[in-house]
């Protein structure tokens, strides 16, 4: 094989490897930025009244059996 052909193949393989490395680094960087996003400040969820109602009903049933 001629030296020009070997040099051309080496150049193409190097360009392809560089592009693959760049795309992988870019993908990992985007993934890291997604993981490191700050938490969204949301107001605290109020406790549902169903819990209070259920607790009252349980207390009534327990008191009625005593």
Question: Quick one: tokens of 47?
Answer: 């406790």
Q: How many whole angstroms separate alpha carbon 19 and alpha carbon 17?
A: 5
pLDDT of residue 24: 98
Q: How many whole angstroms separate alpha carbon 31 and alpha carbon 64?
A: 58
Q: How many whole angstroms separate alpha carbon 10 and alpha carbon 31?
A: 31
0.85 exceeded by pTM: no
Tens digits of residue pLDDT in 14-64: 999 999 999 999 999 999 988 888 766 676 666 555 556 677 777 777 777
């Amino acid at each position: 094989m001629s030296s020009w052909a070997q040099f051309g193949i080496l150049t193409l393989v190097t360009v392809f490897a560089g592009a693959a490395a760049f795309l992988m680094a870019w993908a990992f960087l985007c993934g890291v930025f997604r993981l490191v996003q700050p938490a969204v400040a949301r107001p605290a969820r109020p406790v549902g009244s169903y819990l209070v109602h259920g607790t009252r009903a349980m207390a009534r049933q327990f008191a009625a059996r005593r």
